[in-house]
Amino acid sequence: MAKFSYTAISKDGERKTGVTDARDEHELAQQLREEGYILVSAIEEESKKKLELSFNFPIPLKEKLFFTRNLALMIKTGVPLPRALSMLASQSSNKRFRKILIKIKNQVIRGRKLSECMKDWPDVFPEIFWNMIRIGEESGNLEEVLHNLSRQMEKTYELREKVKGALIYPAVIIVAMAGIGVLMLVMVVPKLAQTFEELGIELPLTTRLVIYSAQFISHFWYIFLAVLVVIGFLLRQTLKTEKGSKFFDKIMLKIPIVSSIIKGTNTAYTARTLSSLINAGVPIVKSLEIISRTLTNYYFREAISASAKEVRKGTKLSEALRPYSKIYPYSFAEMIAVGEETGETADVLEKLAEFSEAEVENLTRNLASAIEPVIMIFIGIAVGFFAVSMIQPMYSMLQSL
């Protein structure tokens, strides 16, 4: 039996809502017909709660890393799984994650497998996660699988934080300069515009553009903010489409340094994830298909997806990856070939992941110093345009005296 929230209506148009037990929607509709009502809509309480939770923010990787690492430790020390989930839920600082873990614990108590419960929350536990858990449950080696998962997540987290850290300085500079620019338009330009108007100076086009921009932002700032929000929303929606994602990812792969970081992070993620899946006992074709659905760059997803199809036909992975040497380094396929020959593919992939992560670390270390001159050039152009636009009328006035 399940609990259903329902809405029903009588022949007289009387509306009725409530919660009741029923095997399914058909039985619920029958119950309501006997009471003189027609079922309008119904949703299972469990599904309703999941839906409510799904509107919250994503669970941070750090939370999931803490959960995986500590779950492995608790299983190793012999703590029963329901109790371990309950303890980890109480330790979680994320309200949504805490609720999900409690629900999973209750389902485990009822007899469901952990992997099956995690599968119900794909935005929290991706396919690679619950697949590896399932392999661990079937092989009786859940502790080792959780350890491998936590190690992989830790490396992914470290790599992501390094990239974020390298981008913080340029982002702060850009935001600060944008803020200063808006303040100048709102506070300084209107006073200069008033002075020019009182003096009756004929203004050049660039000066008029700056003044019109300042007036628009000052008087219609809410429209300005609304336009920014709409542009951001449309851009986000466009990036969710295949064409938009493909176009954006192509541009990112053309930008120096940024392209190298994207290639390095995707190569490291592919190598480490594939190594973990192979070690867990997941078939290589299935592993490649899982990875192709988790990579963030369109071209890397396509490369792994196409490689999976070739491997399914009997082609070696190293051969399947050779046509994609523009995104995956040439050494990637060559080293995998060595692993295939020696039977140590998983170990070779782990070494490749470590090498790629070291390369990304070196690139991120130099990213700020590489981007700084470009930012300074753009800031110089913006400041120069503003200064010339405001000074030119004054200079013209002095010449006419």
| Higher pLDDT among residues 370 and 228, named by residue | 228
pLDDT digits (tens, 9 = 90+) for 340-358: 888 888 899 989 988 988 8
Mean pLDDT within 116-144: 86
Q: What does the pLDDT read at residue 52?
A: 47
Instruction: Give the per-residue pLDDT at 299.
Output: 92
User: Which residue would you say has higher pLDDT here, 147 or 13?
Assistant: 147
Distance CA 390, CA 332 (A): 56
Q: CA 25, CA 34: separation in Å to the nearest integer?
A: 14
The larger pLDDT score, comparing residue 257 to residue 325, is at 325
Q: Looking at residue 294, what DSSP letter applies?
A: T
Determine the average pLDDT of the residues in 148-176.
83
pLDDT digits (tens, 9 = 90+) for 296-317: 889 999 999 999 999 999 999 9
Whether pLDDT at 182 is above 90: no
**How confident is the model at residue 183, as a pLDDT?**
85
Mean pLDDT of the 359-383 span: 80
> Which residues make beta-bridge pairs with 42?
6
The whole-number average pLDDT for the span 142-150 is: 86
Cα separation of 303 and 108, whole Å?
Answer: 38
Out of 55-69, 218-232, 280-294, 324-338, least confident range: 55-69
What integer best gives the mean pLDDT of the chain?
84
Q: What is the average pLDDT across 202-224?
A: 83
Q: What is the pLDDT of residue 143?
A: 86
What pLDDT score does 18 carry?
A: 78
d(CA 381, CA 104): 56
User: Residue 13 — pLDDT band, cuts 50, 70, 90?
Assistant: low
Distance CA 95, CA 63 (A): 11
The pLDDT confidence band at residue 112, using thresholds 50, 70 and 90, is confident
Instruction: Report pLDDT for 54.
Output: 45
At residue 45, the pLDDT reads 57
Of 90, 44, 47, nearest to 67 (Cα)? 90
Higher-confidence residue: 312 or 202?
312
Sign of CA dihedral 17, 21, 24, 30: negative
pLDDT of residue 175: 86
Lowest mean pLDDT among 48-62, 153-167, 169-183: 48-62
Q: Look at residue 10 and tell me whether its pLDDT is greater than 50.
A: yes
Q: Is 120 helix (H, G, I), strand (E, B) or coil?
A: coil
48 pLDDT above the threshold of 60: no
**Mean pLDDT within 38-67:** 68
**pLDDT tens readout for residues 63-99:** 898 999 999 999 888 899 999 999 999 988 888 899 9
Which of 117-121, 189-193, 288-292, 323-327 shows the lowest mean pLDDT across its residues? 189-193
What's the mean pLDDT in 1-19?
73
DSSP string, 309-376: HHHHTT--HHHHHGGGTTTS-HHHHHHHHHHHHHT-HHHHHHHHHHHHHHHHHHHHHHHHHHHHHHHH
Tokens, residue 166: 């390298």
Tell me, what's the pLDDT at 398? 67
- Residue 111 predicted with pLDDT over 80: yes
% of the chain surpassing 70 pLDDT:
93
Interval 23-37: pLDDT, tens = 777 788 888 888 888
Query: What is the CA 67 to chain-centroid distance, rounded?
Result: 19
Q: Look up the pTM and report it.
A: 0.68
